[in-house]
Amino acid sequence: MSILNILRYPDPRLHKVAKPVTVFDERLKKLAADMAETMYDAPGVGLAASQVDVHEQLIVIDISDTNSELRVFINPEIVWASAETKVYDEGCLSVPGIYDGVERPAEVKVKALDLDGKSFEVKADGLLAVCIQHEMDHLKGKVFVEYLSPLKRNRIKTKMLKEEREEIRSKQKVR
């Protein structure tokens, strides 16, 4: 297993729409394992393949405190969402250090495939519901900051670009 590079907002590759997975093989299992290792290392509770520049409909989630409940969703689809919504403070591994409130359905039912291509459904609420919706947005090319006001989004974009420039400068000094 290996740690993958996580794309950072506003990288344009984060806006690429992921294609459905059609081949369930060892490559897919390795990708899911590498994504899980990357997510745990970051640390985070969810990661979409789009965030590691693989534009396939695959997400990994583990909201447990012990990193012991990994869930893999392939070609996930929301088949039901509650009318009730909830605002949850969200963060993102592609937008490190930034958290803000996003309003989403409080409960969802998701249909997806596992690593063997078998179909399953999950009804989720709370953090799991938020995480599933957040990661599914990545597969559609959407980052959570796009739910925020244009002013907030531009401030975040400016901050991320500044941090990226500073990282590049510090790496150049090391050489």
Enzyme catalytic residues: 135
Could you tell me which residues are beta bridge partners of residue 46? Answer: 61
CA distance 144 to 95: 9
- 134 annotated as a binding-site residue: yes
CA distance 150 to 169: 28
Place of tokens 């979409």: 48
Residues 7, 62, 129, CA angle at the centre, nearest 5°? 90
- 15 annotated as a binding-site residue: no
- 138 annotated as a binding-site residue: yes
Do 75 and 112 meet the contact criterion of CB atoms below 8 Å apart?
yes
Binding-site annotation: residue ranges: 92, 134, 138
Binding-site annotation: residue ranges for Fe cation: 92, 134, 138
